[in-house]
Structure 1
Amino acid sequence: MIPFNKPYLAGVELEYISDAIKRGKLSGDGYYTKKCSEFFENRYGFKKVLLTTSCTDALEMAAILLDIKPGDEVISPSYTFVSTVNAFVLRGANIRFVDSSKEHPNIDCEEIEKSITDKTKAIIVVHYAGIACDMDKITAISKKYNIPLIEDAAQAIDSFYKGKPLGSFGVLSTFSFHETKNIISGEGGMLVVNDESLIARAEIIREKGTNRASFFRGEINKYGWVDIGSSYLPSELNAAYLYGQLENLDDIQTKRKEICQRYASNLTILEKQDKIKLPVVPDYATNNAHMFYVLCANIEERGTLIDLLKSKNIYSVFHYLSLHKSDYYLQSNELINLNNSDRYQDTLLRLPLFYELTLQEVDYICDEIINFFK
């Protein structure tokens, strides 16, 4: 079986985990946590990086930092993972879902402004497959209405918009290091704080609502409970694994991009025949090779293709279900029409993509897809 994903071991992760154990501090914010944070701050110019136990937790921290309260409204794409909005629903927010673009699964920028009310307290955008949303349009809307912008950049490490790294546009941005991402730590995430006025409180929220971080820096002589918060710090073992991956980021990215290019080259013939559609990368965006997907004609065709590939020992998977159609959302909201989101729900199929996938295996996968459409 060619799996959909296979976690990658660059080679130094176990050495760094062993070193973390020898250093005698495993609970977080130690040597390797700081090394990871410095990596992102130095490479991408993020103002403050805080590693978290997951991207979900980073989003929960964002909701607390923006003081989201019951009755507030938050704008989000419907075609996304539930964590994007769940963090804000936990604070009592109502979600205003926006459709995806016709060209790609990212949020339709032209529809955002229509959802803004006097109760709107945040706009969340998701860079699907690591491909940038149109950040010029989105940041203009954010500034026009003075509404904080949050980037859910879970899939967008090392991806750019007009040369500027994703994660640097939002007041707050979140990343994931789940085992399905380009760079992994098993489970893990990161909160990027680009508004300096939020940095001190972000540290407090991450440390269970205490000013412990300031105490360890020698800025105060004792620490105590000063705000709400939770335990969002990953252990040093996770950070050590992550740092081993980060040291090999360029190699990992080069290999993943090579695989994506091979997929695109092989399957272009089907797109020219109007059998499938391939991912669109706008001129303003880069492709960080987080995933490779195809769009089928309908849900029945996709299901048949999944079964065919499985019979050939190839594991392919669909992705999100539109959140505006979820059972939970419809308990307290009326059904709305978001046709593009539903189209991606029904037709998008993700193909295997991981570092150790060979180009010969990619060719085999593509041959089977081509044969299917014959």
Structure 2
Amino acid sequence: MNRITTEVPFHRRTRASHEAAYVAEALSGDRLCAGNVFNRQCESWLQTHLPVTRALLTHSCTNALEIAAILARLQPGDEVIMPTFTFTSTANAFALRGAVPVFVDIQPDTFNLCPHAAEQAITPRTRAIVPVHYAGIACNMDAIMALAEAHHLTVIEDAAQGFGAAHHGRPLGSIGHLGTYSFHHSKTISCGEGGALLLNSPEHVARAEVLLDKGTNRKLHQAGSIAQYSWVDLGLSAPPSAMQAACLLAQLEESTSLLQRYRAVWSTWHAALADTEQAGLLRRPHLPPDIQHNGHIYAVLLPDAAKREALASALQALGIQTARHYYPLHLSEAGRRLGRSAGSLRQAEDINERLLRLPVYPELPSWLPEQVTRLVKQVFSDAV
């Protein structure tokens, strides 16, 4: 096959039609910092479209996880169970509170936290579970919530990749006690840098608003309840600027159509690669029953590391960019120092060696999946 004339990037952010106009409007306004009209409109949109008590915009999903860790009232030495196959932010948010990330294995079908492994990892020091919805495909939240209830644990959903996806009809991020979203440049709905904290019970609302406002009771002052606001709790400078929120609002307003386009590309990959899976050349993503995904990631598993590298190199030679994914946290330098491993982690280690992510974005050339399918068969012709 000849090299493609125009290289195919791994990711390309899709723009919403009103982004530029909204950003221009934000820049012409008097308030670019927290409390601006676009921040309020984004939060209102999320609260209208999600079954949550309160949604608060943050600079990032990392930021939202850090606030969730404070709301969970974690103390130094407390343990937080999470999959080892995740981004560093999942662990950092809790390690910053002095808590110990406890790394458990993932399920081989969805690459999500294994409920059985999580149960085996519970000790008297366990305070929380953090399910991570990999690729916008839901964890087994029924099992995780039942486990948390039985052991009186807080569930904090890392739904960084989960906006627009659902588990048995319930939007990801709205099922646990707390939830978080990412609107980073790499996500399906994005504003460059951004995130949201989802509060799924009234008990967290008042404190969360104080935490996001640098630990002050300024909101009471603005409401006229107190003459002067002061420092009352821990706090962060969390809300995004008006420009970020303006960009995000445009994306949220078009999110239904944007997500449909992502899912359509995902489905095109899935259909094109069906024969290669049947031939044993790779394994396509697995979708559990009654799960709505958002098309964020299309990741295939190759038979071994050598074949993964062979395919990635062949695609790169044609100008098609691909990517690996997470290096398991229990193998990392900081993971060994700040966390601990629980049980066998062989699934995560194996998947790390064999997983390859293919490009997914609405503007992906329509001919690409079929061409990649032919290339897979050519590279691994000895296995056909």
Which structure 2 residue ranges, 5 or more long, are not aligned? Answer: 1-6
Is 1:356 the counterpart of 2:363? The answer is yes
Deviation at residue 333 of structure 1 after TM alignment = 6.2
Is this contact kept in 2: 1:80–1:126, CA < 8 A?
Answer: yes
Is 1:3 the counterpart of 2:29? The answer is no
Deviation at residue 11 of structure 1 after TM alignment = 2.1
The alignment-based identity, stated in percent, is 37
The 1-side partners of 2:289 and 2:119 are apart by: 23
The 2-side partners of 1:218 and 1:85 are apart by: 39
The 2-side partners of 1:334 and 1:216 are apart by: 45
Deviation at residue 86 of structure 1 after TM alignment = 0.6
Is this contact kept in 2: 1:314–1:365, CA < 8 A?
Answer: no
- 1:212 and 1:365, CA in 2 relative to 1: closer, same or farther beyond 3 A? farther
Q: 1:79 aligns to what?
A: 85
Pick one of 331, 344, 352 that aligns with 1:345: 352
CA RMSD of aligned residues (A): 1.4
- 1:315 and 1:246, CA in 2 relative to 1: closer, same or farther beyond 3 A? same
Pick one of 163, 183, 208 that aligns with 1:202: 208
Is this contact kept in 2: 1:16–1:241, CA < 8 A?
Answer: yes
The 2-side partners of 1:257 and 1:119 are apart by: 41
The 2-side partners of 1:65 and 1:189 are apart by: 17
Q: 1:162 aligns to what?
A: 168
Q: 2:3 aligns to what?
A: none
Is this contact kept in 2: 1:259–1:362, CA < 8 A?
Answer: no
Is 1:299 the counterpart of 2:327? The answer is no
Pick one of 333, 336, 355 that aligns with 1:330: 336
- 1:67 and 1:370, CA in 2 relative to 1: closer, same or farther beyond 3 A? same
Q: 1:254 aligns to what?
A: 260
Is this contact kept in 2: 1:182–1:290, CA < 8 A?
Answer: yes
Pick one of 361, 366, 380 that aligns with 1:373: 380
Length, aligned pairs only: 374
Deviation at residue 39 of structure 1 after TM alignment = 1.0
Matches within 5 A, 1:237-316: 237-316=243-322
Deviation at residue 67 of structure 1 after TM alignment = 1.6
Is this contact kept in 1: 2:110–2:137, CA < 8 A?
Answer: no
Amino acid at match of 2:88: V
Q: C-alpha offsets along residues 163-186 of structure 1, whole Å, 9 cap, x if unaligned? A: 111111111101000111000010
The 1-side partners of 2:274 and 2:303 are apart by: 16
Is this contact kept in 2: 1:72–1:119, CA < 8 A?
Answer: yes
Q: C-alpha offsets along residues 127-170 of structure 1, whole Å, 9 cap, x if unaligned? A: 10011111111100111111110100000011111111111111
- When normalised by structure 1's length, the TM-score is 0.97
Q: 1:174 aligns to what?
A: 180
- 1:225 and 1:281, CA in 2 relative to 1: closer, same or farther beyond 3 A? same
Which structure 1 residue ranges, 5 or more long, are not aligned? Answer: none
Is this contact kept in 2: 1:267–1:370, CA < 8 A?
Answer: no
Q: C-alpha offsets along residues 82-138 of structure 1, whole Å, 9 cap, x if unaligned? A: 100111001111111110012220011111111111111111000100111111111
- When normalised by structure 2's length, the TM-score is 0.94
Matches within 5 A, 1:178-189: 178-189=184-195
Amino acid at match of 1:274: G
- 1:219 and 1:300, CA in 2 relative to 1: closer, same or farther beyond 3 A? farther
Deviation at residue 226 of structure 1 after TM alignment = 0.4
Is this contact kept in 1: 2:101–2:339, CA < 8 A?
Answer: no
